[in-house]
Structure 1
Amino acid sequence: MTGISKEKTVKTTCPYCGVGCGVLATVREDGSVGIAGDPDHPANYGRLCSKGSALGETLSLEDRLLYPEIGGKRSDWDGALTLVAEKFSAAIREHGPDSVAFYVSGQILTEDYYVANKLMKGFIGSANIDTNSRLCMASSVAGHRRAFGSDTVAGAYEDLETCDLLVLVGSNLAWCHPVLFQRVEAAKANNPNMRVVVVDPRETATCAIADLHLALKPDTDVALFNGLLGFLSETEALDRTYIEAHTNGFEDAIQAAGACEINRISGETGLTPHDLATFYTMVARTEKTVTLYSQGVNQSVVGTDKVNAIINTHLATGRIGKPGMGPFSATGQPNAMGGREVGGLANMLAAHMAIENPDHRALVQSFWQSPTIASKQGLKAVDLFNATRNGKIKALWIMATNPVDSLPDADGVAEALEICPFVVVSDVTRAADTVAYADVLLPAAAWGEKDGTVTNSERRISRQKKFLDLPGDTRPDWWQLADVARRMGFEDAFHYDGPAAIFREHAALSNAGNNGSRDFDISALKDISPAAFDDLEPIQWPQPGTSVSNGETRFFAKGGFFRSDGKANFIAVSHKEPRKRERRYPLVLNTGRVRDHWHTMTRTGKTPRSSSHIAEPYAELHPDDAREAGIAAADLVEVKSPHGSAVVRAQITGRAQKGSVFVPMHWTDQVSSKGRIDAVVAPETDPVSGQPGSKFTPVAIRKLEFGWHGFAVLRNKPDQLETGYWAIAPTEGGWRVEMAGNSETDLEHHAARLLPEDAEFLRFEDVTTGALRIAGWTGADLAGAFFFGPDPVGVSRPWACGLLTAETATKDQRFRVLAGRPPADLPDKGAIVCSCFQVGSSEIAVEAARGATTVKAIGACLKAGTNCGSCRSEIQTLLDAVAKETREDADIAQAS
C-alpha cells in the first residue's frame, strides 16, 4: 500500500452511515493510515464513532480483488469490459432493454451513480436500475413525494440540537448514527428543558437518553401517530393558518385517523393509556419538536404510511422547516442521498425528476442527447431478483453490494444469481458471498482510493478524496461504466476525464428546466474547475444560481411545496393490523445493526477492534419466550421461517419485547456457518415504496443440541472449519473461533488439524465436568488454545484472546493457559463495552461500586467513553443497572 505523498493529511468523508462525518486521513511513512475526525466538518465537528475511528485498520489488501477475472481466471480490462458490453448488447438485442439490470449501492459515489443511471435509463432505455438503498430509505422517499411533491428532507442536523422535544422513531441512534447521538447528548446536557422520547419495540442503547420509552408493538406506528393527530386536533394544538395556506387534504387525514380514543389506541399499540397521554401532551405543548425516524419506520410493509402519519402531525402544527422543528429522515448509507439526487432508484429520474412525468422524461433525454429514455419505472430490488429467478433478466451488473446476504429471502437471491445467464460483480473484496456467482469480476477502487462526492442525511455534499494509490489494476466504478457504455456504441456521451467532469454535468442537469420548480438545484457548481472541485468544502443544497451561498437551506417553513399549487398534501392513512402469526411461527423477527459492525462486515470484519464488542451472531430473546422454548443463555438456537433458517447464540434479556426476536444483519458465510439472517426474512414489501419489511417476519425458534461446544484462539486463520457450528472473528494477534458439533471425531484430532504440525502440545481434561483444554506452541509463541466442554464454554473471551499477545514461554505461564480462567491478579474484564480502550463490563461495575456513578467518572477511571464516545450510552445502561441493584439490596437490608 503506497501513499501518494508521505505524511500528508487529506480531508475526506467517512464511508459508513448517512451522518457523513468529515475525516482527516494521514498516510504515514510506513504505509499505515492515521484517522481523526475533521474538526471543521459541520456534520461531526471532529467526532468519530467506533467504526470511523478504526478505519485505518481496515485498509489491508489481503482480500482485495486486484485484477479483472472471467470465469474465475485472471483477465485484463479490455477482455473483461468487451465481454460485459457484448453480453449486455446481445441480451438487449434479443430480449429487449428490460432484460438487463443494474443493482447498485449507497456505497458508490454520486459520480458513479450518475453514470450508471444515465447509461441504463437514457441509453439502454430501461429503468431496471435499483439500489440497496431500496432496503433502507425507499419508504421515506415515497412518503416525501406523496406529501411534498418531492423527495425533500426539510431540516438540518442543528435542529436536533435546538429542539425542545426530540422524538426518535424506529431509530437506535446511539448505535446506528453514533455521532448524531453524541450531538444530541451534548445538546440535552446544555438544555435542561430538552426532552427525548424513544419509540421502539426494543429497549435499545438509545433509551439511555430517553425521558420516555414507548415500547409499542411492531408495525403499529400508524396507530400511534394517527392518535397523535387526533389529539392535536381535539386539544386545539393545530396551526390552522398554516394548514389553510399551505396544505390540502387535512379533513380526509383527520377522518382516516379517527378520534383520539386512548383505550383503543392502547389496544392497537400495546402502550399504556398513561404513556400515550404523556407523549401526546408533550408533543401538543412543545412547539420546537423534531421527529427523527429511521429503519424501524422505513423497513416495513406499511413503511410509507408510517412516514406520512409522522409528516401529517408536522404539517398540522406548522412545525416544519423552522429551526428546531420538523420531520427528519436519518439515512443508513454514506451516499443514499446522493443516489436519490441522480435518480438511482428504479422509480426516479436524475435531479429529483419523476419518471412518470413525460415533461421530465423529455427534458432529461434532451439534456443527455440520448437515443431513448425509460418510459416507466423499472424493477425494484426484491422484484428485480424475483424476475432474475424467473429467467426474465438475462444480464445483471451488481456494484458495491452483497445481495446474497443483505436482501430478504437471501437463499432465493442466491438461486436467482445461479440461474442468471450473465452476472457481473464490481467490488473491492473477494470476501463477499455474492462474488461466487460472478461470471465477470471487476476490481473496484475502495475508500481511500476513489474520488468524488457523497451527500449526507441533511443534504450536505462532501468530498470523498483519494489518499492512496490504486492497487493492482483496480479502477473506479464510473470509469468501468463509462468504458462499457462506449463499447456498447455510446461513445460521445461517456467521455469523462474524471469525476469533476461528471459532477459538472450532474450540477448542470439540476438546473435544466428548473426555475424553482424542483428542490434539487446545485447549478452554482455547474462550472466548477478541477482544482475547485478538489478543494470543495462541505456544502448543503440547494445552491442555485451562479455563486455558492451560505444562506437558508431549510424547506417549507413558509410553504413552497413542489406541487403545481405549491401546497403539501396530507395523506389519509389508516392503521392496519400487523400480519397474523401462524402457530408454527409464533414470534416476530426484527433485524438491524450492531454498534461496531457495518453491513456484511467486508470492512469492519478486518479489524479486531470492531469485533471485540460483539464477535458472534446472536438472537435477543425475552426471558419468557426463552423459558417457554427451553432455551438458556448462550445456547445455540435455530431461527426459522418458511423462507430459511439461521443458527445464532441466544442472548436472554428483559430489554427484548416478549414475542419478538432481534438478530443482527451482519454475519455471512465468510464469518459464520449459518448466520445469514436475511435468509430467514420474508420478501414482503411496502406496496408504495417497494421496501422490504425487514422488521417483521413470523419465525419459530428452538434450541439446538450439540455433543460438544468449544472456543479457540488461533494465531493463524484456519482454512476450513468443519464443525456443525462456527463463527470466526479477528482478535489482536490472531483469530477467535466459536465452535460446536456432534461429530464423533476426537477433539484432540480436531484441535491438531487447526494447529501447525510441529506444535508442542499441552492438554488438561476434567472427566467429572467433561472439560477439555488443549494448547499448542511453536517455539515461544502460542499457536492456539482450545477450550471444549459439553455445554457452551464459560471461558472469559477477553482473557483468552489476550493469550495470543501475552508471554507464555515458561512452564508456569503455559499451565496458566490451560487453567481456563484469568489468574487472581488479573480480574476478568467481562464483555467488552469500550472497544477503543478494551474496557469490559465487569471493570465498569467494579468502579461503579467504588463510587464512579457517572459516565464521566468512569471515563476518568478507565478511559472508557473518552475517545469515540460510541460506548457512552452502554456505560450509562450498566451504571443504571448497578444503581438499581444497589437500591434493591438496600431495600432488602432495610426490610430484614
Structure 2
Amino acid sequence: MNLSLEPLSVRTTCAYCGVGCGVKATPKGDGGTDIAGDSNHPANFGKLCVKGSALGETLGLEGRLLHPQVRENGALRQVSWDAALDRVAGQWQDIIAEHGPDAVAFYVSGQLLTEDYYIANKLMKGYVGSANIDTNSRLCMSSAVAGHKRAFGEDLVPVSYEDLELADMVVLVGSNTAWCHPILFQRIARIKETRPHVKLVVIDPRRTATCELADLHLSVKQGTDVWLFNGLLSYLARNGAVDAEFVARHTNGMAEAVAAADVDCADPAAVARKCRIELPVLLEFYKSFAATARVVTAFSMGVNQSSAGTDKVNSIINCHLLGGRIGQPGMGPFSITGQPNAMGGREVGGLANMLAAHMDLERGEHRELVQTFWQSPRMADKAGLKAVDLFRAIEDGKVKAVWIIATNPLVSLPDADQARRALEKCELVVATDIMQNTDTNACAHVLLPALGWGEKDGTVTNSERRISRQRAFLPAPGEALPDWQILCRFAQRMGYEGFDFNSAHEIFDEHARLSGYRNTADDVPRAFNIGALAGLGQQGYDALEPVQWPVTRLESGDLLGQARLFGDGRFAHADGKARFIAVVPRLPVNTICEDYPLALNTGRVRDHWHTMTRTGKAPKLADHVAESFVDMHPQDALLHGVRAGELARISTAWGSMVARVQHGGGIARGSVFIPIHWNGQTASDARVGALVNPVVDPVSGEPEFKHTPVRVEQFRLNWHGFILSRRELNLDSVAHWTRIQGRDFARYELAGRQSIADFASWARNLLGVQGEQADWLEYEDRSAGVYRAVHLVDDRIDQCIFLSPRQDMPSRAWLAGLFSKEQLSEIDRVGLLVGQPVEKGADTGPTVCSCFGVGRNTICNAIVQQDLQTVAQVTACLKAGGNCGSCVPEIKKLLVETRVAVAEERAA
C-alpha cells in the first residue's frame, strides 16, 4: 500500500520587522516552501503582511555566500573553515598583543538571533575585554533605550499589543505604521471598526498611508517633537490633567520637567507656530489627550532617529507619567522596533554601552556579577565605541580589525562613503553574511558564510517583549554555519574557555540563567528575568511557545508571561520611582542654508526591507516601488528646476545620489523624502546613506536620519530606457540604472547621457546578442530618437529593450506578462513592435496590491465597470486589500480619483 504523507509545517517567526509575526512554513515537493501566518501566534493571529507572505520567494540560493573565502591580491579565494578562522584569530591576537583589546571591534545586527547576539557580546566584553561591540540597532532604537533607562531605570517597554486594542486613543508618532508595521496597523483598523469612538492621532511631517485612517493628523515641522510634547506637558499641568497621587507616590522630578516645558512651550499658539500646524488642530490633540485616560503613544524611527531623539522619547514619557497613563490596560508609551530582534539584542547587551541581562556597564557591581557568572578572565570596564564613532575610529587607525555580522553598513550608516573609506584603510575586515555580493563585502578580507532565515534555529524578541522561536525548516546550504557556532569556533582558537556550546538551546539556557542570577539581591530586582526558562532542555526549547518576559513558572509547571509592566507602580530605579526628565527643545544641529535649502527625511517603503538583500530577490515585492525616488512638493520641484517622473541629483555636504522625482502629495514645502533601501547591487547611484548627516544624539549616539540639509538639481540626460532580460547584464557604461527582480527575468530602468550613433549595434552589444542569425525584431524612428528591439530564442522572448528621449514608454507590466509565455503569438509580436498591447486588458498597470498581484488599471477598470463604491467591494471583486491591508489607503485614493474622473468625463 502506498501512503502519501503530507509535509509537516514548521512554526517559526518572520524575519522582518519588530512585530514578530508567527509563520507556518511548509516545504513543498518541488523544493519550494509555502508560507502562511500562524493563527496561534498572539502577535498576528495568522495574518501576514506582503513581505512576510513573500518570504518563500527569498529562499533560493542565488547569490548566496556558501563557502569561506579570503582576499589575496585583490581576489577572493575559497578556503576551508580552519584556514579562514585561523587567519582571523591569528591577526586578532597580533593586533590585541600590539595595540590592546580596544583595537578590535564587532559590528553586529538586530537580525541576529538572541543566541548569536549573546555569544558575540560574551566574547567581546568578557573575554577580549573591550566593549567595542555595537549594532545597527544603534541606528534605529538606541534613543528609545536611553529614554527608557532615564525614565524607568531599565530599558523597559511597558505595554503590549493588546493595549493598542484596549486604548480609547492611539497616538502614532513618527511611524508610518500602515507600511512599516502593517499587522499592528490592521489590528488598530479593526478596533476602529468595532469601536468607532477610538481616536487615532498621527504625528508626522509627511501625510503617509497611515494618515488615511487617522482622525487627526499633526503634520509637524521636522525636529519639533519636543516642543509639541513639552507643550502637551505644560497644557496638562495647567489644566489639572494630573494624577497627583500617582505622581507623588511613584515619580520624581515633575516640577523640574514642567518648569522646563513652561519656558518655551506654555503658550499653545507659540507651540503651533514652532511646529507649523494650525492652532485648532494642536488644541484638539491636547484636549483629547487630557480627556482620555486610556492612551497609547506609539513611536518609532521618526522620534528615535534624531540628534535629540532621547529627549523626544522622554518628552513623550513625561506626558504619560503626569497623568498616570502607564502600567494599566490600554495605556502607556510604546517604542515599536524596526528589526526582528532589536529587543533580543538589548536583552543580551548588544549595544556598546550595555551589559547582558539589562545590566549597566558603568556599574562595578554589575560588571562583577556578569564576570562571576561567565567566569571570564576579564571584563570591559568602560563603554565601547558607538556605530558612527566606531567607523571614524577605524578610518583614524585606532581600530585595526572589525568583524561585521549580518549587516551592510556601507549602505545603512550615515555618511556611508566615510564607512567605505574606513574599511578600505582597515587592516582586517571580516564579514559574516548570507549573501556574496554586498557593498560591505566588497571591502572584506575574509568572508564567512552564515545560515539564513529558514535554516537557523534560535529565539527572537518582538516589540512587546515576546520571545518566540525561530525554527529551521531548510538544510544548511554549502558550508554555511550558524553565527553562534562561527563565533564559538573563533573563540576557541583564541584560547578562550566557556564557548563549548553544542546547540542553540544550550546558549539560551545560559542566557536565561544569567537573567535570574543574583536577581533578588537588590531592593529593586531587574525586570528582565527569564530565569524560569532555564533548564528547558532540548525538547522544552523546541516546544517553547511565544511568551512575554518577565516570565514566572507556576506550581503546575506552566510558564506565565507578563503583558505589561509597572502595574504596581514600581519602577527600576533604586527608589522604585520613575523619573520625569526635564528636556529643553532644540532644533537639529545642521540647519538648511543657501547651498542646501531643503531638509531630507529618510524612511522605508511598503514592500522592501533595509538594504534589500532579501526583499530584492522577491518578484512579488518589486513592482509597487520599483526605483528609488525623491518625494518633494511641486512648488519646490518647480523652484529647483526638476519635474515629476524625471531623474534628479540630490546632494548634501556628505555625498550625492540620483533618484526619480515624484509628488506623493504628502510632503510639506521645504522637505524631501527618500527611501533607504537601494544599494550598489540594485542601483548605480541610489544609496541615501551617503547623503545623511552623521551628527548623533549626545546621549544615545543615534544618528540624525530625519533632517539633513540637501539640494536637488536636474540630472541631465539624452535618453531614457528599460530592459527586460533573462540574463544578468553589465551596465557600467550606462549613466544611471536600477535593477528590479521579475518572475523570469531582471528588469533594468536606464538613463544615458551619451549620444547613440547606431541603436541596433549599441543595443545588441549591451544585451550580449551575437551573430546575424539571432531572432531580432526591431523598430526605429531615428527622427524621434525612439528605438525598441526584442531578442527571441525558440519563439520565446529572451530580452527586450526600449529607448526614447521621453519618459512615455510602454507598460512594464504588459511586457512582464509576455515573459511567462512559452511562445509568443503573432499578435504579441505586433504589440512589441507597436510598443503597446493590442489585446484589451493586457496592461494591468503598476502593482497596487502586492499580496495578490493586482494592478492599478485592473482596479480602476473594475471600479468603473462594476460601479464599485467601497474598499470592501473592491476586495470582494479582485481580492485586492484582502490580506495585509497595507494597500487599502491606495485603493481608497483610487476609488475617489476614478469616480471624479468618470464624473468629469460625463460632465464634458
- The Cα of 1:260 is off from its aligned counterpart by 3.0
Q: Where do residues 677-696 of structure 1 align in structure 2 (5 Å cutoff)?
A: 677-696=688-707
- The Cα of 1:836 is off from its aligned counterpart by 2.2
Q: Where do residues 421-820 of structure 1 align in structure 2 (5 Å cutoff)?
A: 421-491=427-497, 493-515=498-520, 517-544=525-552, 547-550=557-560, 552-578=562-588, 579-745=590-756, 746-753=758-765, 754-757=767-770, 759-806=774-821, 809-820=824-835
Kept in 1: contact 2:102–2:130 (CA 8 A): yes
TM superposition score normalised by structure 1: 0.97
- Partner Cα distance (1:490, 1:653) in 2: 55
Which segment is superposed worse, 621-630 or 117-126? 621-630
Q: Where do residues 152-171 of structure 1 align in structure 2 (5 Å cutoff)?
A: 152-171=156-175
Kept in 2: contact 1:507–1:522 (CA 8 A): yes
- The Cα of 1:803 is off from its aligned counterpart by 2.3
Q: Provide, for residues 558-586 of structure 1, a one-character-per-residue CA deviation record: whole Å limited to 9, x for no partner.
A: 31100111000000011113342110000
- Partner Cα distance (2:897, 2:609) in 1: 28
Kept in 2: contact 1:762–1:774 (CA 8 A): yes
Percent of counterpart pairs with the same letter? 51
Unmatched runs of 5 consecutive residues or more in structure 2: none
Does 1:118 pair with 2:118? Answer: no
SS at match of 1:216: coil
- The Cα of 1:238 is off from its aligned counterpart by 1.1
Among residues 829, 853, 868, which one is paired with 1:838 in the alignment? 853
- Partner Cα distance (1:446, 1:692) in 2: 28
- AA in 2 matched with 1:525: L
- Partner Cα distance (1:462, 1:633) in 2: 44
- The Cα of 1:858 is off from its aligned counterpart by 0.7
Unmatched runs of 5 consecutive residues or more in structure 1: none
- The Cα of 1:513 is off from its aligned counterpart by 1.6
Kept in 2: contact 1:8–1:27 (CA 8 A): yes
- The Cα of 1:843 is off from its aligned counterpart by 2.7
Which segment is superposed worse, 342-351 or 260-269? 260-269
- The answer for the alignment partner of 2:869 in structure 1 is 853
- AA in 1 matched with 2:517: A
- Partner Cα distance (1:345, 1:551) in 2: 25
Which segment is superposed worse, 445-454 or 550-559? 550-559
TM superposition score normalised by structure 2: 0.96
- The Cα of 1:302 is off from its aligned counterpart by 0.5
Does 1:257 pair with 2:273? Answer: no
- Partner Cα distance (1:556, 1:883) in 2: 51
Kept in 2: contact 1:620–1:662 (CA 8 A): yes
- Partner Cα distance (2:269, 2:685) in 1: 43
Kept in 1: contact 2:318–2:581 (CA 8 A): yes
- The Cα of 1:880 is off from its aligned counterpart by 4.2
- Partner Cα distance (1:420, 1:191) in 2: 58
Kept in 2: contact 1:623–1:653 (CA 8 A): no
Does 1:825 pair with 2:840? Answer: yes
- AA in 1 matched with 2:530: I
Kept in 2: contact 1:318–1:557 (CA 8 A): no
Q: Provide, for residues 323-353 of structure 1, a one-character-per-residue CA deviation record: whole Å limited to 9, x for no partner.
A: 1110000000000000000000001000000
- The answer for the alignment partner of 1:182 in structure 2 is 186
Q: Provide, for residues 600-639 of structure 1, a one-character-per-residue CA deviation record: whole Å limited to 9, x for no partner.
A: 1111111111102111111111111111112111111011
- Partner Cα distance (1:577, 1:790) in 2: 43
Kept in 1: contact 2:432–2:449 (CA 8 A): yes
Which segment is superposed worse, 166-175 or 840-849? 840-849
SS at match of 1:613: coil
- Partner Cα distance (2:56, 2:399) in 1: 39
- Partner Cα distance (2:288, 2:155) in 1: 29
Does 1:871 pair with 2:887? Answer: yes
SS at match of 1:774: strand
- Partner Cα distance (2:859, 2:736) in 1: 32
- AA in 2 matched with 1:46: G
- The Cα of 1:525 is off from its aligned counterpart by 0.9
- The answer for the alignment partner of 1:317 in structure 2 is 323
SS at match of 2:19: coil
Aligned residue-pair number: 887
- The answer for the alignment partner of 1:373 in structure 2 is 379
Which segment is superposed worse, 799-808 or 431-440? 799-808
- Partner Cα distance (2:897, 2:575) in 1: 55
- Partner Cα distance (1:584, 1:795) in 2: 38
- The Cα of 1:486 is off from its aligned counterpart by 0.9
- The Cα of 1:842 is off from its aligned counterpart by 2.9
- Partner Cα distance (2:719, 2:575) in 1: 69
- The answer for the alignment partner of 1:14 in structure 2 is 14
- Partner Cα distance (2:615, 2:833) in 1: 31
- Partner Cα distance (2:329, 2:214) in 1: 22
Alignment RMSD, CA only?
Answer: 1.7
- The answer for the alignment partner of 2:232 in structure 1 is 228
- Partner Cα distance (2:808, 2:762) in 1: 17
- The Cα of 1:545 is off from its aligned counterpart by 5.5
- Partner Cα distance (2:617, 2:43) in 1: 26
Q: Where do residues 267-286 of structure 1 align in structure 2 (5 Å cutoff)?
A: 267-286=273-292
- The answer for the alignment partner of 1:63 in structure 2 is 63
- AA in 2 matched with 1:556: F
SS at match of 1:305: helix
- Partner Cα distance (1:633, 1:795) in 2: 18
Q: Provide, for residues 665-692 of structure 1, a one-character-per-residue CA deviation record: whole Å limited to 9, x for no partner.
A: 1101101010111001111100000000
- AA in 2 matched with 1:373: M
- The Cα of 1:664 is off from its aligned counterpart by 0.7
Does 1:53 pair with 2:53? Answer: yes
- Partner Cα distance (1:352, 1:275) in 2: 40
SS at match of 1:154: coil
Which segment is superposed worse, 257-266 or 592-601? 257-266
- Identify if the C-alpha distance between structure 1 residues 82 and 613 changes in structure 2 by more than 3 Å, giving closer, same or farther: same
- AA in 1 matched with 2:217: H
- Partner Cα distance (1:261, 1:286) in 2: 22
- Identify if the C-alpha distance between structure 1 residues 383 and 471 changes in structure 2 by more than 3 Å, giving closer, same or farther: same
- The Cα of 1:828 is off from its aligned counterpart by 3.6
- Identify if the C-alpha distance between structure 1 residues 807 and 441 changes in structure 2 by more than 3 Å, giving closer, same or farther: closer
